[in-house]
Structure 1
Amino acid sequence: MDKEFWSSFSHDPRDEQFRSMRASDQDRATVEQALTEAYADGRLDREELDERTEQVTRSRTLGELVPVVADLVPSTSASTGRGLAYATSGEIHEKAVEKYRSDRREAVFGFLFATLVTTVIWFLTTGPGHFPWPAFVALGTGINVAKTVSRKQDIVRSHERRLEKKRAKELGQPWTPNDKASE
């Protein structure tokens, strides 16, 4: 996660030359996503999540975002420069599971965001007593969440195959799916 996490910023906030640069909304969203994942994993309690989220909201520069996640995301990768070429099967599996968690998080946040926005619009424009059309939005985005959760193994296997193919390419070898991944 650490390499993908830091590359998600407009500029690397760990780099001294960018620490005083203004943070974008996307930079803040990246940190908030890491905080939410840490909360979901049980690495933060609700109070810590709220406190850190407030810090992120108040942050103006990239440098102010680094301390918020310093104890949650390594600032350097143990496999710096290695890429996937030397990744073990276990590391590839872990990366695939990490990607699945990201997919699941995106599906849940998409559901929550779309449902909340449409419900607020419905409430402000028509209100109770009228047909609750946001239920259709909730149903549609809820189906995506259910599909993502129910297909976990298939999605993880798909990510593993993609990473194995990428590893073979880095090694300059032809890619052939192994029997376990293609079952």
Structure 2
Amino acid sequence: MAAAPEMRASDGDRDRVAAALREHMAQGRLTVDEFGERLEQVYQSRTYGELAKVTSDLPEIDLHTLPATVAPVRSDGRRPADKAQNSLKASWAAWASASAINWVIWIIVSVTSGHLVYPWPLWVMGPWGAIMLVGTIFGTTHNSKRGR
């Protein structure tokens, strides 16, 4: 049974309309300003009729059956690395860069002081690298059956 326009709307009804508006904004049908204005109208609405007016010029969206996102395929037929893999690579790159900078500073100090200085960069790269290694080995899942 369809709800009559004069029936009072619940908080859950307003939240569903707000979620639909967020999806319309994500798909480019609404600007950020329009989204803000409509969201304000949604939470001021008291009836189903008032809620329907907020989205009357937008297509219906079933929030339960949104299309699944699929990773794009590159021209060579392979999929780009996932976000976790990219994040891991970026973390290791930051570690390597910081370690290299510290070792260069250590070498400069050792050469200019005329004697070998205690290798303090080990205290920078050692614990950080150990934590990164544990995260790399145990933190990522390589489940080939994922998505089946």
Please, what TM-score do these two structures have when normalized by structure 1?
A: 0.34
Q: Say which structure is richer in helix.
A: 1
**Larger Rg, first or second structure (1 or 2):** 2
Please, what TM-score do these two structures have when normalized by structure 2?
A: 0.41
